[in-house]
Structure 1
Amino acid sequence: MKKYINKLILLGGLLFLGSSCETDGQLTTLKAVSFPSAIEVSSSTIVLTEDTADDQALLISWPAVTFPIAAPVTYAVQFDLVNDISGSLAWQKAKRIEVGGDVLSKAFTDQELNKIAADLGLPIDVSGQIVIRVEATMDRKIYSNPVTIKVTPYERSVVFGEIYMPGAYQGEWNVDTALALTAISKGVYQGYVTVLPGYGPVFKLNTGRNWEQYYGAGATNNDLKNMSTTDFVLPGEGSYQVKVNLNTLKWSSVAYSWGIVGDGTAGSWNTSTPMNYDYQTKTWKITADLVPGNVKFRLNNEWTINYGSKNTTDGIAYLDDQGAHYVGEAGTYEITFKINDVDPSGLGYPATANYTIVKK
C-alpha cells in the first residue's frame, strides 16, 4: 500500500510541476504578443521649414499592446532608412525615441523631425523616405509593422546673438549681469533660470545690455509688447527653460531642472534632488548631504535623459551611461553639473557633461 501511495505522490508532483511550467510559459515568452492593429501617422508627405520649426509636423499613434502580465508597457518610436531595415543589421542604425509607459502617441515638431532626418542622412531640400515602427517592451520587445513617410528636411541657419532677461530672480534688477538667452534659430532664443525662495518671478526682455529697447507683457503674460511697463511673470519658485520668439512676439516657459539621484543622495534611486541654475556661470549647482553610495545626474526627475560617470576622477558624465560617481564618505558636498544643452530639441543632448563633487 505504501508503494502505491508513494507513486501517487510522485505522479501528483509531476503533474503539478508540469502545470506550473505551462502556466509560467503562458505568462512569459510562450504566449504570442503582437500589435492588434497598424500604427497611424498624421501625414505621409512632410515638407519641413525653419519658419515653422516649433509647429507640429508629425503625430504617430498606435494601439495598446496587451502582454500576459499586468504591468505598464513601455513604448518607443524608431526611425530608419528603407535600405537599413533588412538583413543581419536591420534597424541597427535606427534613431530610437523613448515615449514612456502606457503612452499611445508621440508628436514631433518640424525641428525635431528635421534633426532625425539629418541624423539618418537624408539630403537637404530633397524628398526622402523614412520608415517608422513602434517598439513595445515588457518581458520582451515586440514591434509594429513599419510605415513609410516622405520627408523633405531643411538646412538650419547658423545664428548668433543673445537677448537678456533682467528680473527679480537676480535679487536685484541688473541688465548688465542678467541671464543671456542664446539664439537657437532666426529670432528664437532660449535659456534657463532658477527662481529661488524669496525671490520674485517677474522679469523683462531686453535686446541689449541696456534699457534702450525692452519688451514687457502685452495682451497676455505670454505676449511681447515693445516698451511695455508690465512685467512678465514666471509660474513661481523653481527652475525653467525659457524660450522667446521675436518672430511671433511670444514667450513660454517649462519646468526644467537637472538633479542628483542615487543611493548616495537623500532621494536614493527614486527621487532626484533638484539643483539650481547659476545663470552667470551657466552651471547647475547644489550643496547637499551625501552618504556612501552612488550619484548620477538626470533631468526633470525622470530617467529619460540621464548622465553617469565611468570613474570618480575625470569629472566627465556620459549620456545614458550605467556608471555613477561613488562617494566613499558621508558629509556635505558641493556639486556642480555643466552641460551644453542650449538647444536640446533641435540638436539633442550632448554625449558628455562636466561635473564636480567636492566635500566641504
Structure 2
Amino acid sequence: MKKNITYLSLLIIALLSFNSCDQEDDLVFTAQEPVEGVSFSNSFSEEYILNKNASGNLGERFTWEDADFGVPTNVSYELENSIIGNFTDATTVGTTDGNELAVTIGKMLTLAAAAGLDDDPDTPEPNMGKLYFRLKAFVGTEGLPTYSAVQELNVTIPEIIVGGGAFEISSWGVVGSGYNNWGAFEDSPFYTTGDSGVLAAYVTLVDGEIKFRENNDWTNNFGDTGADGVLDAGGDNIVVTAGTYKIIFNTNDNTYAIDPYSWGIVGSGYNDWGGAGPDAKFYYDYTTDTFKVSVQLLDGEIKFRLNNAWDTNYGDTGADGALDAGGDNIVSTAGHYNITLDFNANTFTMESANVLGIVGSGYNDWGGDGPDFSISQVRPDEYVGHIVTLVDGEIKFRANNAWDTNYGDTGADGTLDAGGDNIIVTAGDYHVNLNLADGTYALNKVQ
C-alpha cells in the first residue's frame, strides 16, 4: 500500500510542476514609467565660450544615471536640442544606450547658428544667447518615453579677429587621374600669392596624369603639349608620380613648375628620427599663409624638415619659438598638439588640442594595429588628411586615440553623429575632409 501512495504522490508533484512551468511562460513583464525619471548628473558651466578656433574641442559631456523602468530591459537615450526652448521643434543631437554623450564646440556652434546666433565679422559685438537641451529615455523603439528637465546653456560667440597676410582660393584647380580621378570630387585649388597672376597649389598626388582647369569645368583647361613647361589650352595631360608637391602656375605667361614640397615633423618625439615611418605632414592654410598639422607626440625631441630629408631643416636654438635653420632640437612632451609653422615671421607654435583620427577595421583593427590616422585641423572648422590607405571594413572618427569623443554616421547620409554608426569603407586611397561646424565629412577615393 505504501508503494502505491508513493507513485500517486510523484504523479501529483509532476502535474503541479508542469502547471507551474506553464503559468511562468504566460507571465508578461510590463515596464513602468521610472518613479525617479531621468536627469543629468554632470555639472554645467555658467557660460560656454564657443570659439571657432577650438571647434574640435569638447563643449560639454552630458552624463546621467540609468533610468529604471521597473523591469530588466534595454534602455535607449537621446540628447535633444530645441531652438525655441519648448521642444515642439526638438531635434536629436545624439543617441546611445550608455550614460554619456559628448558635444563638441563645433556642434554647439552649429546649433547656435540655427538659433540665430553667429560670428559674422560685420557684427563685431559678441553674440550671446541660450541653447536648450533635454534627455529622452525610452525602451524598445520609442516606447514609454520619459524626459529630463530642460537644461539651458548660456553661450557666447566671441568677435572674430581677422588677421592679415591671407590669400584666396582662385578659380583654377588641379584635376586628373593623379588627384581626383578626373573630377570624381572637387579639383585641388590653386591659391593667390603675393605676386599678381601667380598661383600656388599644395597637393598630394598619386601616379597618373593631371591638367589645370577653371571652375571645375572643362571650358577652360590647360595641359602641356611637348612637356616643355609651358601650358597649352586643351594641351596634353601632364604625367605625375606619387608624392606631395607645390605647383606654381603663372597665368601671365602660362608657365608652370611642379616641385616636391612637404614639410614634416621628425624626431624621437614622433618617428624615431625617420626610422619608424615618414614625417608627420603639414597642410597649407591659405587664410593665414602658414602650414599646420595635428599630431600625437611622445616624450623626446623633434625638428621640422622639408621633403623627409635633412637638406632643409629647422630647430629652435634658444627655445624662444623662433625657427632657426639647422637649429637645436625642440623638446616634446607626450600629448596631442596643433603645430603651426609661419615662415613669414620665422616662428612656430605648439598648442595642446583634441586630434581627430580614423580608427576601425578599415584602417588599424580598431586600434590594435597601431595609432589612428591623424586628421589635421587646417582652419577653425576644417580638417584634412591626405592620403590614407583603407581596406574593406568599417571606420569611425575619434579624438586622441580614445573613445571619449567619437563620430560615426547614423543613416549613411554624409553627416557626422556623435557616437553614431560605423562607416562602411572599401579598399583604396582616400583624401579625407571633415567640417565640424556643419557636421559633414567626405571620403574621396583617389582612383
TM range, smaller chain: 0.3 to 0.5
Q: TM-score, normalised by structure 2?
A: 0.33
Q: TM-score, with normalisation over the residues of structure 1?
A: 0.40
- Between structure 1 and structure 2, the one with the greater Rg is 2
Structure with a larger share of its residues in helix: 1
